[in-house]
A = this chain, B = another copy of it.
């Protein structure tokens, strides 16, 4: 027996922001009171602020998948033609949801680790002018790849279709200019860059998306965007809100505002850059080298080694919880998260721990070599004050 702290370091739930957790202790509040309306209204306003949009923003007591469901069931009709960009498990989820609601789905598939190109979307839209919607992940966390959302928004913006972006792990890890680029629906979840536990889903709705909702005929009840918008305007949620999580969200949003969304994104990007540098030093191969996102760095286990060994030993040796690959990628890759409440201190320790585990499994690594790569990136980035670089 030795001391082994529990460390939640997955791409969701992400590490928790302590003041947000402490705020949950004030949950002895009723949701149909002015006190709570003030808290809810402030959270909605701050959420709009950090998402940088003038579009309506709504919150649901649900996981992110709930908001994905809502975007389909509220904005489309049976048989509507839609395009899904699928580059991993979450792209496949878009396909499942669209099919569950009887949409006519064209799937643009990329190999795991690759991204769907803007050109493929342009071609699909040109081939089917009646397309009503394009669905995509900003960041496909299952593989570590990211999509060119700006390019896709430009392609979709000139058509009658709307662009629905699952930004659950994209928000806070890449620039997402909702209004400037024209993202019609942007979906987020509480347990990602917002640094609080799972249970809240958000989405922004553009005028173009609202217009589509007027003719949409798919059935829905709990996830009712129009009803939720009316409730939100009164400072309430339609159904009982997850009050403890709203309190946590309010506190976390204050922190994200104080950081600035651009800095939150830069933080994840810099950590991802440092992790990739460490991989180069340690001879580890990236799974998504061509379009790497910054929510996670997906790394191939060294030849002959099951990635589950790395995941397991990080837990048994260091109490650190990271994620294996999903589906067919299980055993092949492991994923180091960067989104939300992560800093260089975390990464120093992660890479040092990873080095010891690789070494213990017969992989030739020189202790401290990957850590040094992270230290050099830290020094280059010169935060908060410059360091001359070795």
A residues with a Cβ closer than 8 A to B are 1-7, 18, 25, 258-260, 263-264, 266-267, 270, 316-320, 341-346, 348-349, 352-353, 355-356, 359-360, 366-372, 374-376, 378-379, 383-385, 387-388, 390
Contact = CB atoms under 8 A, between A and B. Distances in A.
A268 to B, nearest CB: 9
A3 B359 contact: no
B368 A356 contact: no
- The 4 nearest A-B residue pairs measured at CB: A368-B368, A368-B372, A348-B352, A367-B372
Nearest to A387: B360
Nearest to A364: B390
A2 B267 contact: yes
A277 to B, nearest CB: 12
Given A352-B352, A353-B348, A390-B367, A266 B2 contact: yes
A1 B360 contact: no
Contacts of A388: 360
Given A352-B374, A371-B367, A345 B359 contact: no
Given A367-B368, A367-B376, A368-B375, A263 B2 contact: yes
Contacts of A346: 5, 349
A171 to B, nearest CB: 15
A381 B98 CA distance: 54
B384 A317 contact: yes
Contacts of A342: 3
Nearest to A376: B367
A310 to B, nearest CB: 14
A385 B82 CA distance: 53
14 contacts: A1-B259, A2-B270, A3-B343, A5-B341, A5-B346, A318-B343, A345-B352, A346-B349, A348-B349, A348-B353, A360-B379, A367-B371, A367-B372, A367-B375
A2 to B, nearest CB: 5
A388 B360 CA distance: 7
Contact of A387 (B18, B341, B356): B356
Contact of A267 (B3, B341, B379): B3
Contacts of A369: 368
A343 B263 contact: no
A1 B390 contact: no
A366 B373 CA distance: 11
A314 B276 CA distance: 25
A312 to B, nearest CB: 11
A148 to B, nearest CB: 26
Nearest to A348: B352
Given A5-B341, A367-B375, 16 more contacts: A1-B259, A3-B264, A316-B385, A317-B385, A318-B343, A318-B344, A319-B345, A348-B348, A349-B352, A352-B371, A352-B374, A356-B387, A359-B387, A360-B379, A366-B390, A367-B376
